[in-house]
Homo-oligomer: A and B are copies of this chain.
Amino acid sequence: MPGLLCVRTMRLILVGFGTVGRGVAESLLASEPELSVAGAEPRVVAVVDPVVGSVRREGGLDLGTLLRLADTGEPLATCPGAETVAGLKEVLEVAGGDVLVELTPTDLHTGEPGLGHVRAALKAGLHVVTTNKGPIALAYHELRTTAHKAGLQLRFEGTVLSGTPVLNLCEAGLAGAGIREIRGVVNGTCNFILTEMEGGTSYATALSKAQHLGYAEADPSGDVEGLDAAAKVLILANSVLDANLKLEDVNRTGISELTAEDIQTARMAGKTWRLIARISQGENGWEAKVGPEEVNRADPEGSLTGPENLLIFDTEALGEVTITGPGAGRRATGHGVIADLLAVHRNVS
């Protein structure tokens, strides 16, 4: 249901060309027909990455070539027509972008390097789309205020449930519905470990299996101690519910203390443990919590066993609305960026 079409080039600067960055490049190629129908013509005018190198080309870089180079370990500078650049500072000065797409890895202690990239882009007058939880979890209100004052868009669908469109859902479909509570399962690695433990596996064995399969990092603490879930719940609370919480305000417990006995006791009662993220109204406004909870196996939370995530929005107008979708994945995260770029296109038309 588009309005009157306005075909327009969006000049993108991609920062980060690792797994996520390449997933976004693939999504841009795959979604070209649908972007085109909407009147959006994204053109990647620069890619900035400390490993594969930083390049720019005013007329647009060929994404297929960049992907081939990065996947074979060759420097992006060998891409025909590409000029080498020193880094983001130079790109912002000379490349003339419309949207900065920030795709560097999350650091929940400092937010860097993403936070610096987002600040610099907004200062330079670019809209920002990011999949990086760090800047949004740590500095949402500051960044939103800066963007707002400058009439710029700041979008981050890929930070929560990867590309499953929960933030778009809240912004459009649930606007005015009166959200009373948000709860759900927002970390797939914990689901995997808990499901393995139900089969009789110990926590240590389940964790090492998750690491072997690439679900969990070598340092798994971000997932199993609930830090990843806490960042997501914080982003939801601050951006959807306009709370003003900090990461340390999230009441957080991980799953590493759960014993085989806890799991089996729940199982005998038809229940199962899940790492539940929850935002509800407390005495002093919104409160956010992440921790293991026993849920009924037949409940939506209990029936998720794999990498899928879900969120349940309890609302005044609709009662409960539940959305389920992938919580991770290169292409899924790439879609979050595509949806955000389409929204930027619509909103500035």
Chain B, residue nearest A31 (CB): B176
Task: Please tell me which one of the listed residues B31, B172, B323 contacts residue A323 in the complex, with CB atoms under 8 A apart.
Answer: B323
Instruction: Check if A173 sits within 8 Å of B169, measured CB to CB.
Output: yes
24 sample A-B contacts, Cβ–Cβ < 8 Å, listed by A number: A4-B151, A30-B178, A157-B173, A163-B318, A164-B173, A165-B169, A165-B174, A166-B173, A168-B169, A168-B172, A169-B169, A169-B173, A169-B323, A171-B172, A175-B338, A176-B338, A177-B339, A317-B331, A317-B334, A317-B335, A318-B331, A318-B332, A320-B325, A322-B325
Docked-complex contact B342 and A176, CB < 8 angstroms: yes
Judge whether A347 is part of the interface by a CB distance below 8 angstroms.
yes
Interface contact A151-B3, CB-CB below 8 Å: yes
Q: Which residues of B contact A173 (CB under 8 A)?
A: 157, 164-166, 168-169, 172, 339
Contacts of A320 in B (CB 8 A): 324-325
Which parts of A3-34 form the interface with B (CB within 8 Å)? 3-4, 27, 30-31, 34
Give the interface of A toward B (CB within 8 A): 1, 3-4, 27, 30-31, 34-35, 38, 144, 148, 151, 153-155, 157, 163-166, 168-169, 171-178, 239, 298, 300, 303, 315-326, 331-332, 334-335, 338-339, 342-343, 346-347
Q: A34-B178, A321-B324 are in contact. List 20 more A-B contacts (CB 8 A).
A: A3-B148, A3-B151, A4-B148, A27-B176, A27-B317, A30-B178, A30-B316, A34-B175, A34-B176, A163-B317, A164-B173, A165-B321, A168-B172, A172-B173, A172-B339, A176-B335, A176-B338, A176-B342, A321-B325, A322-B325
Q: For residue A322, which residues in chain B have a CB less than 8 angstroms away from its CB?
A: 322-325
Q: Which residues of B contact A168 (CB under 8 A)?
A: 169, 172-173
Nearest CB to that of A331 among chain B residues?
B317
Q: How far is the CA of A171 from the CA of B169 in the complex (A)?
A: 10
Which chain B positions have C-beta within 8 A of A326?
A: 318-319
